[in-house]
Each structure stands twice: as C-alpha cells, then as structure tokens.
C-alpha cells in the first residue's frame, strides 16, 4: 500500500480551508491530517504531526504565511510548502522560502493536479535518496577506516581538535569535523545539544534541570550526564516531546 502524503491546510478563513480540503479529498495520495487558522497554530501542528506538505495562505493576521514559512525553515522537520493565496503579488517573496508551488484562489482543478504531481515527484526523489544512503558511517582513524552503524552511536563530541565518537561498548577518535559528521548523520536522529556535542535522541532517557536555564541529559545505559546548553534546550524539548 502506497504511503499517504500527510498534509496540513493553513488559512484563517474557514470556508477557504473547507474548499481546499474538499478538492484534496479527490486525491487518493493526500491525507489531510489537520487544519490551522493561524501561523502560530500551524507551527505547533507541524511539530506535533510532522506533515509532508503544508498548504499555506499568506494574508493572515499576526503571523502571516511568509513569516510562518520562515519559522518552519528553522525546524528540523521541514514539510514542503505550497502557498495557496488570492494574491499573485507575493510570488517572488514566497519562492525565497523554497516553496514547491504557488497556487491562486479560486483553485482550478487542472492547476491543482499539477501541484499534486509536483509534490509526489519531489517526495519520491527524497525517498529514493534516503533508501540509497549508506547504512554505515565511515570514520577515518589511525587504525584505518572504521564502519559504524549510526544507531549504535550514543553521542559525538569535540575534544580540542579531535572528535570522539562514543557508542555502545566502543569509543573512536577522528579528525573529521563535528559539522561534517552532523551533515552525514542528518537522516538519523542526531541533535546538537551544545556547540561541541551531538547526541542520538533515540537514547535519551531523562532531561534534568541544572542551573541558569541549562540542563543535563541522561542516556540509556550510559552513566555520564551530558550538559545541554540553555540555547539548545527549547529546540531539544520540541524534538523529544509529543
């Protein structure tokens, strides 16, 4: 069975949401999992539901569609964005946020067909890229090239000019930068908790208040507590909590 495309409709006008939801209901691939009547609500639902696509109106009170798109680009999970608006004048600004499409109200069936096809093609390409990505992290060390399963890594940290990789029953050192390792692990559940630390979120068991807004992190099967910089606490909680 083909995976459904999780979709959220964002528009402050109820009738506009209902119209678009009705039109999208004719596409078997689309699953409208939520609606939002504001940019603020949209952000919360994106964090909670992790949709594939956001149909986003632009002219909304308080946080408009462009501001919402800008905030979404800061999230770890970034759905595709389709701007759905009555105003063509925002098109140039909209594509600065890497929108996959820009459709105008009232929606035309043929134009919406093009949008859905574009969404499906983009998501299929992403899926193929993820499936073809290597399952092992290659680490160059003094002992040669070591291959590690990312799921076996607890955390990575910088110690002077050396990066140490700590896992279940092993520890390796490499001169590969933490930033490069973060990029290579982007399809896995790693998160930066400090400018020098990258942690596997799958192994987090407890977040402990420390001082001055900072926290300490406890990992399953690991005695040492890791420090979470207060600058990363909010984003970390958003990633960990339902």
Mean pLDDT of 232-240: 83
pLDDT for residue 156: 95
Q: What is the DSSP string of 35-46?
A: EESSHHHHHHHH
Cα–Cα distance list, 49 to 104, 115, 118, 136, 139 (Å)? 26, 22, 22, 29, 34
- 240 CB neighbour count, 10 Å cutoff: 12
**Percent of the chain, pLDDT > 90?**
44
Confidence band of 131 (pLDDT split at 50, 70, 90): low
* Structure confidence at residue 1 (pLDDT): 39
2 pLDDT band, cuts 50/70/90, is: low
**Chain segment 33-77, per-residue pLDDT in tens:** 999 999 999 999 999 999 999 999 999 998 999 999 999 988 878
Q: Which of 73, 106, 131 represents a domain boundary (last residue)?
A: 131
Q: Is the pLDDT of residue 83 over 60?
A: yes
Number of H helices and E strands in the chain, helices first, is: 7, 15
Both 122 and 169 in one domain: the answer is no
Instruction: Inform me whether the pLDDT recorded for 3 exceeds 80.
Output: no
Distance CA 101, CA 195 (A): 35
Which of 72, 103, 131 lies at the terminal end of a domain, its last residue? 131
What the block records as the tokens of 15 is: 């009738």
Mean pLDDT of the residues in the chain: 87
Q: Are 100 and 160 in a shared domain?
A: no
- Split at pLDDT 50, 70, 90, the class of 127 is low
Write the CATH number for 96.
3.40.50.2300
- Residues 17, 18, 19, 21: what is their CA dihedral angle, to the nearest 10 degrees? 80
Q: What's the CA gap between 208 and 17, in Å, rounded? A: 42
**Cβ(145)–Cβ(139) under 8 Å?**
yes
Residue 31: Cβ-neighbour burial (10 angstroms; 0-12, 13-18, 19+): middle
Q: How many residues does the chain have?
A: 242
pLDDT-derived band of residue 126, with 50, 70 and 90 as boundaries?
low
What average pLDDT does the segment 145-166 reach? 91
227 and 113 part of one domain: no
Q: Note the pLDDT of residue 134.
A: 54
Question: Would the pLDDT of 133 be above 60?
Answer: no
Same domain, 125 and 182: no
Q: Are 228 and 193 in contact (CB under 8 A)?
A: yes
Question: Are 118 and 184 members of one domain?
Answer: no
Give yes or no for residue 23 having a pLDDT over 50. Answer: yes
Q: Which residues contact 217 (CB under 8 A, 6 or more apart)?
A: 193, 199, 204, 206, 207, 208, 225, 226, 227, 228
Residues 178 and 118 in one domain: no
Query: For 175-188, what is the mean pLDDT?
Result: 86
Distance CA 94, CA 107 (A): 18
> What is the CATH number for 204?
2.40.50.1020
Q: Which domain holds residue 21?
A: 5-131
Q: Give the C-alpha separation, 2 to 134, whole Å.
A: 24
Separation between Cα atoms, residue 115 and residue 100, nearest integer Å: 8
Q: Which of 3, 186, 10 is nearest to 81 (CA)?
A: 10
Residues 6+ apart with CB under 8 A from 1: none
Q: Are residues 11 and 123 in the same domain?
A: yes
């Amino acid at each position: 069975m083909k995976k459904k495309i999780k979709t959220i409709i964002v528009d402050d006008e109820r009738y506009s949401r209902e119209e678009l939801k009705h039109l999208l209901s004719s596409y078997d691939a689309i699953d409208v999992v939520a609606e939002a009547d504001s940019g603020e609500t949209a952000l919360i639902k994106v964090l909670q539901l992790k949709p594939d696509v956001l149909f986003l109106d632009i002219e909304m009170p308080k946080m408009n569609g462009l501001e919402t798109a800008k905030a979404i680009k800061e999230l770890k999970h970034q759905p595709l964005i389709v701007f759905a608006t009555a105003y063509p004048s925002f098109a140039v600004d909209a594509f600065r946020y890497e929108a996959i499409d820009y459709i105008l109200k009232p929606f035309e069936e043929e134009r919406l067909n093009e949008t859905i096809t574009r969404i499906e093609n983009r998501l299929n390409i992403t899926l193929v890229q993820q499936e073809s990505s290597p399952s092992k992290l290659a680490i160059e060390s003094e002992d040669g090239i070591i291959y590690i399963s990312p799921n076996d890594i607890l955390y990575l940290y910088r110690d002077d000019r050396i990066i140490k990789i700590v896992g279940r029953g092993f520890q390796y050192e490499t001169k590969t930068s933490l930033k490069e390792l973060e990029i290579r692990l982007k399809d896995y559940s790693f998160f930066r908790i400090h400018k020098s630390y990258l942690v596997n979120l799958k192994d987090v068991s407890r977040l402990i208040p420390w001082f001055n807004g900072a926290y300490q992190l406890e990992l399953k099967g690991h005695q040492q507590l890791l420090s979470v910089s207060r600058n990363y606490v909010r984003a970390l909680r958003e990633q960990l909590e339902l």
